[in-house]
Amino acid sequence: MSAPCDVDKLREIVFHPLPPGQVERAIELLDALPGIELSRTGPLSLQVAYRVDDHSLQELEAMLSLHGLHLEATLLIRVKRALVHYCEHVQRENLHKPEVQTKKFKPHVDAWEKHPHGDHDETPAEWRQYK
């Protein structure tokens, strides 16, 4: 069983039946990319294994679409695809989250330097001291 934040992904890409030969063409295109393992799971489907650091399903599908391949577009597959795209997008953002700069943020530094520092109490000094 894999961990919930696992970066190794195993996804299935389903192609439309027309035009024929799309799975073979997809294997040729995806096999040229580093870090991708492929296996054919059916006459119209392909299983892709990759690390979410290197690739995302959305990028792979966009590349396939740019090369003229047609993905299956039934409602269930589109919903699954949208959920996977969202989850991988969020996971990639969380993996590459930049360091939060609170004190080094330029506008805050400039505002702090222009702000007068020190004791701003209007009460006279002799009233503020306990004797």
pLDDT single digits (tens) 37-79: 999 999 999 999 999 989 999 999 999 999 999 999 999 999 9
Where along the chain do its domains lie?
A: 8-95
According to the model, what pLDDT value does residue 111 have? Answer: 73
- The residue whose two tokens read 């795209």 is 85
Question: Which residues, at least 6 apart from 49, have a Cβ–Cβ distance to it below 8 Å?
Answer: 8, 9, 10, 11, 36, 37, 38, 39
The residue with tokens 């530094």 is 109
- For Cα atoms 90, 91, 92, give the angle at the middle one, nearest 5 degrees: 90
Average pLDDT over residues 7-17: 95
Q: Looking at the whole model, is its pTM more than 0.85?
A: no
pLDDT band of residue 1 (cuts 50, 70, 90) is very low
pLDDT for residue 15 is more than 70: yes
CA-based nearest residue to 77, from 91, 92, 61: 61
Summarize pLDDT for 65-115 with one digit per residue, the tens.
Answer: 999 999 999 999 999 999 999 999 999 988 886 666 556 667 766 776 777
Q: How confident is the model at residue 124 (pLDDT cuts 50, 70, 90)?
A: confident
What are the residue ranges of helices labelled H in 22-105?
22-31, 57-66, 75-95
Q: DSSP character for 11?
A: E
Answer yes or no: are the C-beta atoms of 48 and 15 closer than 8 Å: no
Instruction: Please report which confidence band the pLDDT of residue 20 belongs to, taking 50, 70 and 90 as the band edges.
Output: very high
Distance CA 112, CA 99 (A): 21
Q: For residue 17, give Cα distances in angstroms to 12, 28, 68.
A: 16, 18, 13
Poorest-pLDDT segment among 12-21, 25-34, 92-101: 92-101
Return the CATH number of the domain spanning residue range 8-95.
3.30.70.100
